[in-house]
Amino acid sequence: MDLNKNFPPAANNLAYNYAQYGGNLDVALGLAQKAREANPNDAGIADTLGWIHFKKGTYVTALGLLKESNEKYKGQNATVLYHLALAHEKSGEDKLAKEAVQKALAVDQNFPEAADAKKLLDSLGGK
């Protein structure tokens, strides 16, 4: 970022780290939006923006972005599916949340959030 403040991958990664590890969500949102402007079709950026909106409690916006990211990843990114499951759950869509978390675990039993995904699945009524 010091060399090129408009480098989308760096802005996106920094935004995700802020969102994931307790950083300023408004700063994260600004970084992710700049990355999105530079690369509007990037699935990872859509996930980051969706995750930030989830963390900010704007679940409708989060759902749209996470659905977009999941479609672009063709349902093969376990973390995106887990994020999508959480957004569905917060939106009161437990059936869709359960489907998304089951798909996440089917894609990869050992993805970084797998333990949390299994807890979510249990809270949604198991397998």
Task: Give pLDDT tens digits for 18-49.
Answer: 999 999 999 999 999 999 999 999 999 999 99
- Residue 7: what pLDDT? 81
- Helix and strand counts by DSSP (H, E) for the chain: 7, 0
The number of residues in the chain equals 127
The ranges of the chain with pLDDT < 70 are 1-6, 127
15-22: long-range pairs with CB below 8 Å, 24+: 15/48, 15/52, 16/48, 16/51, 19/48, 19/51, 19/52, 19/55, 20/51
Q: What is the pTM of this model?
A: 0.92
pLDDT of residue 127: 60
List all residues 6 or more positions away from 86 whose beta carbon is below 8 Å from its beta carbon.
54, 97, 120
Residue 11: the pLDDT is 92
- Residue 67 has a pLDDT of 98
For the chain, state the CA radius of gyration: 14
Rounded Cα–Cα distance for residues 47 and 50 (Å): 5
- Token pair of 6, please? 């408009």
